[in-house]
Amino acid sequence: MNINRLSWDDLRVFLAVARSGNLSAAGRSLGMDHATAGRRISALEFALGTPVFERDHTGCRLNAQGREMLIHVEAVEASLLTLADTLENGAPGPVGQVRIATMEGIASLYLSGRFARFSQAKPGISIELVTSSHDVRISQREADIFLGFFEPRGINLEARRIGRFPLHLYASADYLLRRGTPGSLAALRDHAFVGYIDDLIQLDAVRWLDEAIVEPTMSFYSSSMLAQMFAAADGAGIVMLPAFARAERFGLVRVLAPDIDVHRDVWVSTHQYLRRVPRIKAVLSFLTEIFNADFPV
């Protein structure tokens, strides 16, 4: 291998192809056509003296040398991002964008408001809050940080539990006036419920209603937590919601408060090399702080 022939421009293309799995997608992400991306990969493999991808009609897959190389190139990328954050415009604090992926409910009902406060403290950091119902691939840089209700697994991924929130049953005052307020768990069998569409659930962690009542009578289904909450607020039935939703502000009333004991953990994950990038480190610290304050483990 001729180390002097190695170019960061070629290594950037290597990272993009490794993450996307094909030259066209990698080229689009870098603002070049697939032919240019292919030439960059060929130049890199020539400099290394060995191929790093296996190519077929489906795209490009890292071979053994490529997988080993990916670990080191991602470490270089993180160091360059850290350097860029440190030198960016001579700013007194971290700057740049941080993309956080999480579920719709926690994004809309909890994080969006909290990040308004964060923006005042860290004006140089722009937050991109992406909602997704499935595990976002941090290892492929689909996001910088993933916040979820389960412990994710992945190559070069660092995950830790930062919070634990309770869930409660809620109903509107109008519904309770019409149907009566249940006085026991057994009385729930006489009530209507709002919940998720079973065959569209992509995350088993949201099957929380099953922990409160077996085979509830359902009156309304939705794949959206927000839709469920607003349907319940208009009297459709009883709904189970996380405490972070603060459902009382929408006119909902807690039902059987002492009798319901359902909880979920909150996990935060990021790439092990990116956690030291100043802007990402600042966001991770903020997330840890707010969950420790509001929903400690």
Contacts of 144 (CB under 8 A, 6+ apart): 98, 99, 100, 138, 270, 271, 274, 280, 283
- CA end-to-end span of the chain: 50
Residue 175 CB neighbour total at 10 angstroms? 26
Is 3-88 in CATH node 1.10.10.10? yes
- The residues spanned by each domain of the chain are 3-88, 91-161+265-294, 164-261
Topology agreement, domain 91-161+265-294 and domain 164-261: yes
Smallest Cα–Cα separation from 126: which of 178, 164, 85? 85
Give the CA distances from residue 74 to residues 14, 31, 55, 165, 224, in Å, rounded to whole numbers and listed in that order.
10, 20, 22, 34, 36
Q: In the block, which residue shows the tokens 């002097």? A: 4
pLDDT in tens, the chain (297 residues): 666 678 888 899 998 898 888 899 888 989 999 899 999 898 888 888 889 999 888 889 999 988 888 888 888 888 887 777 767 655 556 888 999 999 999 999 999 999 988 988 888 899 999 987 565 565 566 789 999 998 887 767 889 999 999 999 999 999 999 999 999 999 999 999 999 999 988 888 999 999 999 999 999 999 999 999 999 999 999 999 999 999 999 999 999 998 999 999 999 999 888 888 888 999 999 999 999 999 999
CATH fold of 91-161+265-294: D-Maltodextrin-Binding Protein; domain 2 (3.40.190)
Q: What's the token pair of residue 8?
A: 């960061």
Q: What is the pLDDT of residue 237?
A: 98
Helix axes 278-294, 64-87, angle to 10 degrees: 90
The architecture of the domain spanning 164-261 is: 3-Layer(aba) Sandwich (3.40)
Q: In the block, which residue shows the tokens 């994080």? A: 111
